[in-house]
Structure 1
Amino acid sequence: MAKADTKTTIDADGLRYRSKTPGSPFTAAGAFGAATMSCFLCGKHRPRSQLKSRRLLGKAQFVCAPSCKEAEAAATAPKA
């Protein structure tokens, strides 16, 4: 089943998409603006509290803490 093609036109006020909800799924509900960040190694979005800073390629990059495999296992583990 194919999705119906949505016709997009540019309105007078500059908006293009009528069906798209505004904003990003990664925005924070709080005042700081960055509730999640992507891990530099695996690319998955995680809360900032689950990331640590590591020096990679001469810059400080955020990566999963303690490792990407352990973070994925913790995220997919059934909650009791």
Structure 2
Amino acid sequence: MSKDSVKTSIDTDGLRYLSKTPGSPFGSAGTHSAATMSCFLCGKHRARSQLKTRKLLGKSQLVCAPTCTELEEQLRSAG
């Protein structure tokens, strides 16, 4: 059971990957309000407006507001 080895080489402009798209999968975070962060409980990336601060394990953490399951249902019904 061996994996197919992928051969890569560094181009003259310094890029190594030809098939990888540039940039972040979470979009542009030019402004702080447009940034996404992950929920401490479910781990899904959400807009900061969809998160709230909650004290967990003695530290303030960002979690989905109102709850992870309720937010997921709202997003499913809206989209």
Deviations 1:6-40 (CA, angstroms, capped at 9, x unpaired): 64212234321112121102133543385211101
Give the conservation status (yes or no) of the 8 Å contact 2:52–2:63.
yes
- Please identify which structure carries the higher helix content: 2
Deviation at 1:45, TM superposition (A): 1.0
Deviation at 1:54, TM superposition (A): 1.0
Note the residue ranges of structure 1 that are not aligned, 5 or more in a row.
Answer: none
Question: How many residues are paired up?
Answer: 75
| 2:19 paired with 1:47 | no
Question: TM-score scaled to structure 1, two decimals?
Answer: 0.74
Cα RMSD over matched residues?
2.4
User: Where does 1:10-49 land on structure 2 (aligned, <5 Å)?
Assistant: 10-28=10-28, 30-32=30-32, 35-49=35-49
Q: Secondary structure at the match of 1:77?
A: helix
Percent of aligned positions that are identical = 67
| 2:51 paired with 1:56 | no
Q: Secondary structure at the match of 1:76?
A: helix
Deviation at 1:55, TM superposition (A): 1.3
Deviating 4+ runs (over 6 angstroms): none
